[in-house]
Homo-oligomer: A and B are copies of this chain.
Amino acid sequence: MSMKQATRPGGRSLRVQQAVHAAVRALIEEIGRDALTVPQIAQRAGVTPSTIYRRWGDLMTLVSDVAQRNLRTECPIEPTGHVASDLAAWADIYQEEMDSTPGREMMRDVLRGWDGTRAACGLLDAVRSTVEAILTTADPPVSLSADSVIDAIFAPILMRLVFADAPLPQGLGREAAFRVVATAQASA
């Protein structure tokens, strides 16, 4: 869930926002999420608690907001044109990253701020653009939509991350990647 953006994106408002975000990150490092309180963040950031309450509403929303900025958005691999191994390599990286302690903590923090209606975060958009980059580089081309790739590879990872007991099976994403590409090529 993304918070209402401040109407003033520069100057003091920006400095406050950065100081608060930095304070949240620092305090999570030092004392952990569970001990985190708004007054403490305010003190560390050099602002008054009411500023935080007025801008973010509550601790949950603030922490969720910070966690979303930790989402990877850049494409992590260089497409080689070989779709199956590109997707498999990326799926492996992605699965390991998400199934790690920091990955799971980030996911937890993001989901705490989910409002139940809109997308919880921009994760799928970032994934989709990387998938599209891999698919358009494909040589020879494959007839696969980004959505079907996401459903086949990333949906099981994300679903199990949240709804199954940890850790994820080794190679879950990798094998799904080979499978979805093989199926597409077989039906071509």
| A interface residues (Cβ-Cβ under 8 A, vs B) | 60, 104-105, 107-108, 111-112, 114-121, 123-124, 150-152, 154-156, 158-160, 162-166, 176, 183
- Which applies to chain A's interface (DSSP): helix, strand, loop or mixed? helix
B107, B116, B119, B183: the one contacting A104 at CB < 8 Å is: B116
Whole-angstrom distance between the alpha carbons of A176 and B152 in the complex?
Answer: 10
Determine the residue in chain B with the shortest Cβ distance to A169.
B147
Q: Are B119 and A114 in contact (CB under 8 A)?
A: no
Let me know if A107 and B118 touch, CB within 8 A.
Answer: no
Number of identical monomers bound together in the oligomeric complex: 2
A108, closest chain B residue (CB): B116
**A116 near B105 (CB under 8 angstroms)?**
yes
Check if B118 sits within 8 Å of A165, measured CB to CB: yes
Name the 10 nearest CB pairs between A and B, nearest first. Answer: A108-B116, A155-B155, A155-B159, A151-B156, A104-B116, A111-B111, A155-B156, A124-B163, A158-B159, A119-B165
